[in-house]
Amino acid sequence: MSDTKFPEESLKAVSDVVEEAAAVEPQTPAVEEPVETAPETPEPVAEAPVAEPEAPVAEPEAPVAEPEAPVAEPEAPAAEEESLKDKLENLADKSLAELSEMFRNLKESADSMLRSKEAESIKSAFYKLLTKLKSENPDAENSLSNPFEAVEENFKAVYADYKKERAEFNKEQEAKREENLAAKRAIIEELKAIIENNEDASACFPAFRQLQNRWREAGPVPANAFRDVNDTYQYYVEKFYDMVKISRDLRDLDFQKNLEAKEKFCEAAEKLAENENVVNAFHELQKLHEQWKEFGPVAKEKRDDIWNRFKAATAVINKRYQAHFEGQKEQQVANLSAKEALCEEVEAIAAKEVTTSGEWNELSAQIVEIQARWRKIGFATRKDNQKIYDRFRAACDAFYARKRDYYSGFKDAMTSNLEKKMAIIEKAEALKSSTEWKKATDQFIELQKQWKEIGAVPRKKSEQIWKRFRAACDDFFAERDKNAKPENDFYGNLRAKKALIAEVEAYVASEDDAANATALAAFNERWQAIGHVPFKEKDAVNAAWREAVQAKFPGQNGRRSAPRAAAAKAPKSERDVLMDKYRALQQDVATYENNIGFFSASKNSEPLIKQMQDRIEKAKAELKELEQKIRQAEEGAE
């Protein structure tokens, strides 16, 4: 079954809230009580129903009774409600608008007056969801643009019209039943008069047959009068056959007509036994039972045969019907077990310690996938269905409540970060017109460092404030480069650094680690001696330097001094060498990720950003390989 689309949080969209509809208890369709017990009772079928007896017919000498007709089993009609449960299974997945549309379609349908249970289920689901959404969005109800008001008012209006139409329909039906009751009582009085007049059989039998036809054509009567009026009618029918001396020919003709009608009932019942839809076949069988009771007996020698034939077809349908629901019970037990497993999965996820937004998103995707699996599972057992749904819903709610709490705190932190970065922007904009190039340069570098250390800001503000800060930096450094003195030849420095990078790339590494360390220290000293480069070229040339050093001096971070290089002469174990490489790669990844944050979002910077991302992916892959080698080295050392 589908209980309820567990979705993203209800704060995002009303239609995303997932709630599963409760299982509907099946009802038992009305079956008329028997008037009397026939002299011969058929053998009981498993939970077989008991039918009203057929009106006894008497031979001219004495009345005889025909075996009572079977009717559908009294407990089994729970299937009707099971069918309704299947139909309403996905109500919890609907939004307020969808539920309103469902109710409007039901109201406008031709059989809307016969679907009151479905209407009330839709109404219940609508107000249950509305109450939940109002509790989750308490401010929305008091706002000028209340998102719930229009759909609620619309639903109320449609429901009010439906209730009015339903009341009028019920009133008409009750009036019609009263009319039918009056008509049947009039028929009884006419039948009573025929019996009391004791006229000639040839004269009274046609009138009696006409009364029987009128009785069958009359519709249902009020439930509280059914037993009395039916018993009275059957009594006078029996009296008629007892008191009126029917001619043999008329009696045989009546028997023959009854036999022909009952043979058709048997044929219809046998055809129903082949119907693949067991529930529909069962309900159609009930109608046949009601019609069977309206006809009198057949000839004595054929009574057992026609009864046994009808009973055999009934037994087949009853057994298939019973087996159908036994199979459903087994499936419901399996469904309960499957849903318990899903509850355990969600409860385990809801109990996890989560510290990052990425983890929350990953777990949310898992919850959504579990909810999708839940909806594919049918109903659990009737007594456990609501309990297991409540357990599943509680676990999902607990997860999303923790997620909302996390993002609430995260939002406060981002707001604080935004304020800090706005303060840095104001300082940069005040500083960008400074002509104290050295001092202002150091200050800008410090502001950039502070900017990197501050965490994330709201997404809709992130690019806007970054562009503003970058523009202030670009304005200052562009002006600084334009007014550079000969001793501050930034473009000359850029050319010098590129030349040094080319030297590193052309360096042929020695097998002597000490010699390599000395060469690296010399390269570093020359690099540090070169002055500043144009601001817009700084990140790219630094990244190129790091890449060249890493390629020629793996395991070195490019910052080791000559004394430290000398200390590196001491022999290291294989594990120590691997660990040095691992730490260096970790630092490279951190550097690349920081550099990406300072590249402009313009089209000109996209290739550089892509290059940094490729290096990060490559470094992470190398880290995984180093982890495996380190483990192998440790195992070998043991």
Q: Where are the alpha helices (DSSP H) in 432-489?
A: 437-453, 459-482
Query: What share of the chain in percent tops pLDDT 70?
Result: 74
Residues ≥6 apart with Cβ < 8 Å to 246: 60, 201, 205, 254
Is residue 122 within 8 A of residue 91, CB to CB? The reply is yes
DSSP characters over 257-302: HHHHHHHHHHHHHHHHTT-S-HHHHHHHHHHHHHHHHTS----HHH
Q: What is the mean pLDDT of residues 165-174?
A: 87
In this prediction, residues 9-29 reach a mean pLDDT of: 30
Across 219-233, 481-495, 521-535, which has the greatest mean pLDDT?
219-233
Report the C-alpha gap between 215 and 237 in whole angstroms: 11
Distances (CA, A) of 384 to 241, 337, 363: 55, 11, 28
So what's the pLDDT on residue 47?
33
Per-residue burial over 163-192, b if 16 or more Cβ lie within 10 Å, else e, is eeeeeeeeeeeeeebeebbebbbebbeebe
Whole-angstrom Cα distance, residue 392 to residue 395? 5
| Confidence grade of residue 228 (pLDDT, cut at 50, 70, 90) | very high
Helix or strand (DSSP H, E) at 14: none
Segment 429-441 shows an average pLDDT of 87
* Residue pair 201/242 in contact by the 8 Å Cβ criterion: no
> What angle do helix axes 300-350 and 357-376 make, rounded to 10 degrees?
170
Residue 609: its pLDDT value, please? 67
Distance linking the first and last C-alpha atoms of the chain: 56
How much is the CA Rg of the chain, to the nearest whole Å? 45
User: HSE on the CB side for 281, CA within 13 Å?
Assistant: 22
User: Tell me, what's the pLDDT at 218?
Assistant: 86
Q: Is the pLDDT of residue 3 over 50?
A: no
Confidence of residue 594 (pLDDT cuts 50, 70, 90): low
Q: How far is CA 458 from the centre of its chain?
A: 30
In this model, does residue 188 exceed pLDDT 90?
yes
64 membership: H or E segment, kind and range: strand 63-64
Question: pLDDT of 468-482, one tens digit each?
Answer: 998 988 888 888 777
* pLDDT of 396 strictly over 90: yes
Taking 50 as the threshold, does the pLDDT of residue 37 lie above it?
no
Q: At which residue do the structure tokens 């996890």 appear?
A: 352
518 is written with which tokens?
Answer: 């000395």
The answer to whether residues 587 and 622 touch, using CB atoms and an 8 Å cutoff, is: no
Give per-residue pLDDT as tens, 263-288.
888 989 888 877 878 788 888 888 88
**pLDDT at site 368:** 92
Looking at the DSSP assignment, which residues form a beta bridge with residue 58?
Answer: 63
Confidence of residue 425 (pLDDT cuts 50, 70, 90): very high
Handedness of CA 469, 473, 476, 478 (dihedral sign): negative
The pLDDT mean for the chain works out to 75
Are the beta carbons of 452 and 597 closer than 8 angstroms? yes
Closest CA to 33 of 267, 234, 281, 236: 234
Asked if pLDDT for residue 72 goes beyond 50, the answer is no
Give the Cα separation of 28 and 367 in Å (integer): 39
Is the pLDDT at 245 greater than 70, yes or no? no
Give the per-residue pLDDT at 67: 36
